[in-house]
């Protein structure tokens, strides 16, 4: 019996090639989308699952609660906090810290600029990072030790055993609290750790203990409670509740830690620093400030899962529509089967089997599509996402189940309709009377186009917002700027470096600052306005006067800072004498401090130890969006601080960019032969701000094209069948005087109504989603009705193009031949 069912199913597939192609192609593309989305979702959820024994391991995140500023959770913790938790909370069984920094590694005459992490000596025992060589408890015990990843070991020493080998770590200078520290440190390789996979929350290539002679944190940094540059991890005792830890920690911080001397905050420390424990395995999905690897997004995963589902359902709707529409052509077959004894259940099972068989055939084509597009998909996501048939057999079983379920969903309604034919009626005229519900077929078309229109609107708005963000007037120039990190190069050497760069004809300006636009750094300064008791925390940007001209910042009131005035210099150091010196602020800071923009000039603010240092505001700069369109312009103080402005910005002109870069590199190596240069283009940093949004928009655009193609494919088949069914009706209409354009308009209008109804469904849903998405941008576009009308009109035009050929062919047919069809 089953063999007969398969024979009949294959016969129908080959006999009705057009409809079989539409059904199989739609299901194949839909299943391919589901497979790609499943692989992406699985990859996102796989982050940090590779590390064994991490069930009770948590990252310590701290959210600064600052007066008048939004709360931005950060994935960083001050250096003393993890150890403080270990000492005061019995639930914390162990702790470790990881502070990444960039150093120059020298092997012989070769130099490499690497990211090296400073850590506690128990890093490998607490985190459980696997070692290929070395004892986890001993590799970081000696201050002069360093542990390399397998990749760096091969890079430095080739195939030779790296353990015991020496390398040199260089740096330009040291902190003020370590004036006698060495400029270079010789370190011995004590272990080799296995390369961490790409799906992890941190990048880690080499590790040194924070007691190392190459330590960059410094004694001040190790005591600072409001310095967020590193990661803290704690391992909880069995049975501990991570949600109860922050509430228990806050009162202990209030009693023990006084932040006033360091920050000027008079509020209790537990109220200022809100700690949160994030499970190590879930950290990737926490999109907090400071993460080293682009974070995941639950919204994206849910959205993609929903998109995959609706695309697959659209393909299933095609099958259901065409199967019910074509049911009358199989009426005599069904009637004959029932006359020879087939029950309704047997007929229904036959048609369900046909739909499942078609879905399995579509799955085979879907897997072929996946294999062909896999390299392009990996390149698009910039990560290796592969489907291994032997290793991923559980996933393949799930995919097979999804395909079978798609076949059942596609075929359940046609099977019920076809199995319900009355044999006498079917055999009498080879038709079934009412073949299913025309209303259902229209509803399925409506749903298909609603999905397509909704995705099209989302895509238009996403790309429009990204284009708006890229073209937004940020209040400064970002073109043709090369950023060079000078580390802790002494100020005199940095000034000489910039002077030599300015001598190049292709370089128009050079300036230094502590940060540059679009960086992830967070520097704040505690100040008070005389007569006001509250402590305010504007952001701080240390610059040199040339910075303002290089970036094209505009003056709103007052004057600019000048090196010719000694009181215009402010050194951001507790030991500096800044009383009575001058600063600049931006317009946002003027409002934040309670001044008008013109009225801020000449006002005094206080900062420093117990707010004894008076600073005079001599100018107000126009607001500049240094964080891009996602963040509001923050209140900012500008200090003319040449000592700690250790990032050099170079503006170049002319077409010879490689020549400028070569000159910058050669100048650097001539002045700093023991340190590798760190440089990047500012435009690349700007592009990184929106890289994830662009990728999301491109994914939406791809799925829009697929959803519309599947919908149009189904509409094409349905239009072909409808035109065939209405041949006699159209012939009669033409006999009574209907013109060709009247007939074409009639058929186009029939298929326009579902698209119009689809717009009424898609518009409010897309509006609701986009309203929430746009909230992530401080500066955003408005949801113009043109986006919605444009997507709807495009869908209607595609529907017209799809059915026009059928409508025109039937409308031009000779009515004599049409009337002979029956």
pLDDT band at residue 419 using 50, 70 and 90 as cut-offs: low
Residue 29's contacts (CB-CB under 8 Å, 6 or more residues apart) are 311, 315, 366, 369, 706, 709, 710
Burial class (CB within 10 angstroms; exposed 0-12, middle 13-18, buried 19+) of 191: buried
Residues 523 and 631 grouped into a single domain: yes
Alpha-carbon distance 32 to 315, whole Å?
12
Residues 719 and 776 grouped into a single domain: yes
Residues 544 and 401 grouped into a single domain: no
In this prediction, residue 796 carries a pLDDT of: 82
**Position with higher pLDDT, 592 vs 203:** 592
Residues 306 and 273 grouped into a single domain: no
Residue 177 CB neighbour total at 10 angstroms: 12
Alpha-carbon distance 534 to 246, whole Å?
26
Mean pLDDT of 398-407: 86
Residue 772, pLDDT > 60, answer yes
Residues 119 and 24 grouped into a single domain: no
Alpha-carbon distance 262 to 226, whole Å?
8
**Position with higher pLDDT, 816 vs 676:** 676
Q: Are 642 and 491 in contact (CB under 8 A)?
A: yes
560, HSE (Cβ side, Cα atoms, 13 Å): 15
In this prediction, residue 432 carries a pLDDT of: 44
Q: Residue 98: inside a domain, yes or no?
A: yes
In this prediction, residue 745 carries a pLDDT of: 75
Residues 236 and 360 grouped into a single domain: no
| Per-residue CA distances from 339 to 346, 350, 415, 426, 427 (Å) | 13, 16, 18, 11, 10
Tokens at residue 540, please? 């701080």
Among candidate residues 234, 261, 285, the one where a domain is terminated: 285
Region of residue 103 (phi > 0: left; psi between -120 and 50: alpha; otherwise: beta): beta
Residues 105 and 248 grouped into a single domain: yes
Residue 251 CB neighbour total at 10 angstroms: 11
Residues 509 and 583 grouped into a single domain: yes
Residues 184 and 115 grouped into a single domain: yes
What domain range is 35 assigned to? Answer: 2-43+299-467+691-819
**Total domain count for the chain?**
3
366-391 pLDDT per residue, tens: 999 999 998 988 888 888 887 888 88
Q: What share of the chain is helix, strand, coil (3-state, %, to 5)?
A: 50, 15, 35
Q: In whole angstroms, what separates CA 337 from the centre of its chain?
A: 57
Residues 454 and 510 grouped into a single domain: no
Tokens at residue 101, please? 């920094």
pLDDT band at residue 638 using 50, 70 and 90 as cut-offs: very high
Q: In whole angstroms, what separates CA 537 from the centre of its chain?
A: 30
Q: Residue 676: inside a domain, yes or no?
A: no
Mean pLDDT of 804-822: 61
679-715 pLDDT per residue, tens: 999 988 888 888 877 887 787 778 777 877 777 776 6
Residues 240 and 198 grouped into a single domain: yes
Q: Which of 315-329, 693-707, 759-773 has the lowest mean pLDDT?
A: 315-329
In this prediction, residue 818 carries a pLDDT of: 54
pLDDT band at residue 208 using 50, 70 and 90 as cut-offs: very high
- Beta strand extents in 426-498 (DSSP E only): 481-485
Among candidate residues 285, 320, 349, the one where a domain is terminated: 285
**Position with higher pLDDT, 338 vs 655:** 655
Listed residue (318, 332, 364, 327) closest to 717, CA to CA: 318
Return the C-alpha torsion angle 295, 296, 300, 302, nearest 10: -160
In this prediction, residue 757 carries a pLDDT of: 87
Q: Residue 700: inside a domain, yes or no?
A: yes
Q: Which residue has the tokens 């890093």?
A: 123
**Position with higher pLDDT, 710 vs 807:** 710
Residue 584, pLDDT > 90, answer yes
Alpha-carbon distance 696 to 220, whole Å?
42
Region of residue 782 (phi > 0: left; psi between -120 and 50: alpha; otherwise: beta): beta
Q: Residue 52: inside a domain, yes or no?
A: no
């Amino acid at each position: 019996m089953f063999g007969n069912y398969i024979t009949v199913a294959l016969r129908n597939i080959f006999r009705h090639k057009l409809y079989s192609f539409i059904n199989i192609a739609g299901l194949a593309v839909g299943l391919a989308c589901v497979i790609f989305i499943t692989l992406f979702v699985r990859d996102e959820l796989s982050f940090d699952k590779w590390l064994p024994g991490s069930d009770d391991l948590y990252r310590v995140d701290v959210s600064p609660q600052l007066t008048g500023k939004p709360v931005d959770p950060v994935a960083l913790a001050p250096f003393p906090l993890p150890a403080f938790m270990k000492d005061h909370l019995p639930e914390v069984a162990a702790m470790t810290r990881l502070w990444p920094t960039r150093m120059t590694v020298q092997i012989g005459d070769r130099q490499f600029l690497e990211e090296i992490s400073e850590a506690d000596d128990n890093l490998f025992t607490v985190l459980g990072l696997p070692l290929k060589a070395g004892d986890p408890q001993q590799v970081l015990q000696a201050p002069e030790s360093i542990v390399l990843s397998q990749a760096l070991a091969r890079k430095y020493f080739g195939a030779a055993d790296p353990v015991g080998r020496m390398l040199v770590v260089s740096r330009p200078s040291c902190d003020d609290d370590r004036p006698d520290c060495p400029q270079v440190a010789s370190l011995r390789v004590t272990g080799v750790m296995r390369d961490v996979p790409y799906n992890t929350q941190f990048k880690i290539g080499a590790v040194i203990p924070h007691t190392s002679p190459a330590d960059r944190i410094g004694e001040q940094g190790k005591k600072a409670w409001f310095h967020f540059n590193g990661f803290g991890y704690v391992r909880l005792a069995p049975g501990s509740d991570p949600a109860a830890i922050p509430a228990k920690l806050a009162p202990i911080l209030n009693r023990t830690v006084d932040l006033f001397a360091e920050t000027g905050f008079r509020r209790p420390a537990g109220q200022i620093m809100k700690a949160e424990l994030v499970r190590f395995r879930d950290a990737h999905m926490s999109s907090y400030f400071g993460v080293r690897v682009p974070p995941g997004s639950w919204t994206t995963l849910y959205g993609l899962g929903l998109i995959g589902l609706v695309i697959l359902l659209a393909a299933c709707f095609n099958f259901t529509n065409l199967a019910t529409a074509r049911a009358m052509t199989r009426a005599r077959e069904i009637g004959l089967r029932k006359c020879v004894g087939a029950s309704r259940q047997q007929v229904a099972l036959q048609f369900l089997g046909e739909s499942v068989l078609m879905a399995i055939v579509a799955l085979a084509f879907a897997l072929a599509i996946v294999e062909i597009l896999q390299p392009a998909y990996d390149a698009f996501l910039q990560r290796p996402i592969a489907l291994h048939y032997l290793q991923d057999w559980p996933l393949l079983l799930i995919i097979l189940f999804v395909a079978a379920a798609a076949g059942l969903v596609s075929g359940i309604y046609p099977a019920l309709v076809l199995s319900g034919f009355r044999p006498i009626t079917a055999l009498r005229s080879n038709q079934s009377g009412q073949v299913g519900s025309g209303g259902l077929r229209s509803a399925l078309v409506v749903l298909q186009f609603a999905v397509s229109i909704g995705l099209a609107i989302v895509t238009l708005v996403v790309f429009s917002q990204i284009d708006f963000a890229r073209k937004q007037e940020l209040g400064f120039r970002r073109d043709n700027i090369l950023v060079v990190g000078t580390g802790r190069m002494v100020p005199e050497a940095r000034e000489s470096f910039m002077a030599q760069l300015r001598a190049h004809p292709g370089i128009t300006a050079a300036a230094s600052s502590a940060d540059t636009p679009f960086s992830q750094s967070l520097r704040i300064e505690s100040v008070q306005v005389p007569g006001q008791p509250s402590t305010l925390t504007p952001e701080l940007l240390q610059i040199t006067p040339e910075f303002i001209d290089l970036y094209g910042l505009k003056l709103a009131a007052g004057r600019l800072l000048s090196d010719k005035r000694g009181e215009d210099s402010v050194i951001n150091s507790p030991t500096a004498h800044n009383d009575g010196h001058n600063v600049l602020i931006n317009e946002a800071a003027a409002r934040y401090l309670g001044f008008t923009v013109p009225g801020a000039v000449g006002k005094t603010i206080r900062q420093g130890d117990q707010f004894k240092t008076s600073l005079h505001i001599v100018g107000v700069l126009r607001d500049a969006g240094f964080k891009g369109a996602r963040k509001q312009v923050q209140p900012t103080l500008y200090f003319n601080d040449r000592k700690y402005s250790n990032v050099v910005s170079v503006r170049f002109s002319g077409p010879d960019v490689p020549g400028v870069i070569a000159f910058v590199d050669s100048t650097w190596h001539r002045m700093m032969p023991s340190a590798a240069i760190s440089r990047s283009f500012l435009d690349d940093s700007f592009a990184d701000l929106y890289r994830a949004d662009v990728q999301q928009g491109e994914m939406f655009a791809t799925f829009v094209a697929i959803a519309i193609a599947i919908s149009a494919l189904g509409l094409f088949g349905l239009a072909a069948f409808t035109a065939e069914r209405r041949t006699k009706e159209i012939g009669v209409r033409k006999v009574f005087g209907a013109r060709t354009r009247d007939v074409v308009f009639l058929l186009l209008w029939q298929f326009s109504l579902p698209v119009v109804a689809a717009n009424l469904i898609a518009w409010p849903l897309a509006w609701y989603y986009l309203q929430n998405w746009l909230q992530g941008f401080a500066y955003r576009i408005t949801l113009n009705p043109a986006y919605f009308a444009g997507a709807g009109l495009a869908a209607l035009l595609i529907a017209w193009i799809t059915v026009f050929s059928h409508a025109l062919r039937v409308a031009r047919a000779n009515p004599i031949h049409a009337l002979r069809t029956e």
